[in-house]
Amino acid sequence: MNPSQDEPETRRPTGYVPSRLMRVRSQLDRLDELMLTETDPQKLDHLASTHARLAEQERILDGRPLPGSRRPGTERAEALWGIVPYLGSN
């Protein structure tokens, strides 16, 4: 019997970071729903601030760098163009 057939389709993550990431993403989804129905400007501002803080947590937990903070390495050049950049003589 194949073990992957016994596993449920939506598996629970193991470890702190994956479980926290899943929790933050579900909170972001809930905030999106609340923001769609909210009409009070002050409450909407509070929801937007909360959304921004949670989005930053989600970015960090997911391991995505800030835009422009990481230069592509040689592995990206190889993957994109199939070439190895010249790094000088050894």
**19-77, pLDDT tens digit by residue?**
999 999 999 999 999 999 999 999 999 999 999 999 999 999 998 888 888 766 656 55
Q: How many residues are present in the chain?
A: 90
Instruction: Return the pLDDT at 77.
Output: 55
50: closest CA among 70, 34, 69?
34
Query: Which amino acid, one-letter code, is at 39?
Result: T
Instruction: Return the pLDDT at 54.
Output: 97
Instruction: Return the pLDDT at 8.
Output: 47
85/90 Cα distance (integer angstroms): 14
71/10 Cα distance (integer angstroms): 35
Burial of 34 (0-12, 13-18, 19+ CB in 10 A): middle
Instruction: Return the pLDDT at 4.
Output: 47
